[in-house]
Amino acid sequence: MNLFRKTINLKRVVVTGLGAISPLGHTAAESWKQARAGANGVGRISRFDASQYYSQVAGEVKNYDPLEYFDRRELRKYDPFIQFALIAAEDAYRDSGLADAQLDPTRCGVYIGSGIGGIFTIEENVIRLMERGPSRVSPFFLPATIANLASGNVSIRYGMKGPNLTNVTACTTSTHAIGESFRIIQMGDADVMLAGGAEYPITPLGVAGFSIMKALSSRNDVPEKASRPFDLERDGFVIAEGAAVVVLESLESALKRNAPIYAEVSGYGYTGDAFHMTAPDPEADGAVRTMEMAIRDAGISASQIDYINAHGTSTPLNDKTESLGIRKLFGDHADRVAVSSTKSMTGHMLGATGAIEFVFTTMALKEGFIPPTINLENPDPECDLNYTPGKGVERELTHALTNSFGFGGTNGALVISRFMAD
């Protein structure tokens, strides 16, 4: 138990619900089942003609029909990133048993972030404005676009009157959202938080923006092999979409209502590189300090971490820098700790990626199973850790770390621990 937590009587925070819609499935359970099996969620872009694009591959949510979840009138109000947030939140809400709980709504909050927000709705309404004039812009344009409307709509749906927040911190967005929700509950400002992230960036403008930066993989001939973290032949990340939302709850509240407990959130770290807009610090200073902060907050040592769900984007710079950071911090234990990048299967869900990886890390702890890094066929000598290539492995886990690093040098890490009553 963290000494600081004991000293100021911080509340223990547990995970009581998991929700997701991702390139691997329409629920958290389905997404985890596919990740556990080493399934591939990446393919050629099908939503629009990407034949002229530098990158033509993405992790799309398969077989998504919004009318299965919303009526046509509702859809006018919701950009797809909000739709995904509502779907993932419903999955988590039901999973946690909150629908049957008698909780004070002023003690329940929502913290869902998005790296980009409603880019689809922005594109759609710019075309309307340019082609048909200002009177044809949707009256729902702004409410469907603004990033905090994911949290807003979730809080309205479930009558949650506690903290109602969002954040925009690039690829670290939902790790920060979960971490800040952890702090809110620790400090006693809420008993329950729905936390996570949502993203719908696979649009003509979204893909063009990342493509022109040469940030994306151009392995268009073999799209299922495009996301290949830590591989010598990696050439960029694969843009992906979806949402993941988790229910965090004070241990006291969870026990009182006999809620399912997946794991305990035990540590949170967050730092800045102050180095470059898009590139990581080559010495991994920010990554090291972030992981170190999360581990220290959990009241454990680096040698007690059994598994790391790496940021592992499949970009030349990130993967070697993150590997360097792990080796610097963990020392000899870096050769023993299991690592994997589930982005090899989902692609990079941007503002939602930290949350889906939190879901996978939580399930890894619960089931004692480390998901694989697929497509790792030709290891990069500068990436010299155990990345669980090809196939997942069974292993008893007590503490796990999940990393997120984003544009602007923003970093976040969370320690998740197997729940123990004492």
Known catalytic residues are 171, 311, 348
Secondary structure of the chain as H, E, C letters: CCHHHHHHCCCCEEEEEEEEEECCECCHHHHHHHHHCCCCCCEECCCCCCCCCCCCEEECCCCCCHHHCCCHHHHCCCCHHHHHHHHHHHHHHHHHCHHHCCCCHHHEEEEEECCCCCHHHHHHHHHHHHHHCHHHCCCCHHHHHCCCHHHHHHHHHHCCCCCEECCCCHHHHHHHHHHHHHHHHHCCCCCEEEEEEEECCCCHHHHHHHHHCCCECCCCCCHHHCCCCCECCCCCECEECEEEEEEEEEHHHHHHCCCCCCEEEEEEEEEECCCCCCCCCCCCHHHHHHHHHHHHHCCCCHHHCCEEECCCCCCHHHHHHHHHHHHHHHHHHHHCCEEECCHHHHCECHHHHHHHHHHHHHHHHHHCEECCECCCCCECCCCCCCCCECCCEECCCCEEEEEEEECCCEEEEEEEECCCCC
